[in-house]
Amino acid sequence: NEYPQLSAEVIVEKDPDLIFLADVKCCAQSAATVAAREGWGALGAVTNGNIVELDDDIASRWGPRLVELLAQVAGAIAKVSAGS
């Protein structure tokens, strides 16, 4: 697989401020499924409600609608940055 992969352990160790989900439709992922993962319930992104559900179709098949995805990502980053 040529795409970068992060292990669950690394994510827990790094304790991200934001988590982006690009597998909401295809794989039934949500803020609730992320919070239920072992060790993830205490992550800053989870406890602060900073899990962003992206549109799988746009995230996995870039095209003209990529601008929508980038706006959603930028908005989430701006929101978290403003709060810190």
Phi and psi for 13 in degrees, rounded to 5?
-65, -40
Of 55, 65, 49, 3, nearest to 29 by C-alpha is 55
84 residues of the chain, pLDDT tens digit each:
687 889 999 999 999 999 999 999 999 999 999 999 999 999 999 999 999 999 989 988 889 999 999 999 999 999 999 986
pLDDT of residue 84: 61
Give the whole-angstrom CA distance, residue 30 versus residue 37: 11
Domains of the chain in sequence order: 8-83 (3.40.50.1980)
| Helix boundaries (H) for 18-65 | 24-27, 31-36, 44-47, 56-60
Q: Judge whether 58 and 68 are in contact, CB under 8 Å.
A: yes
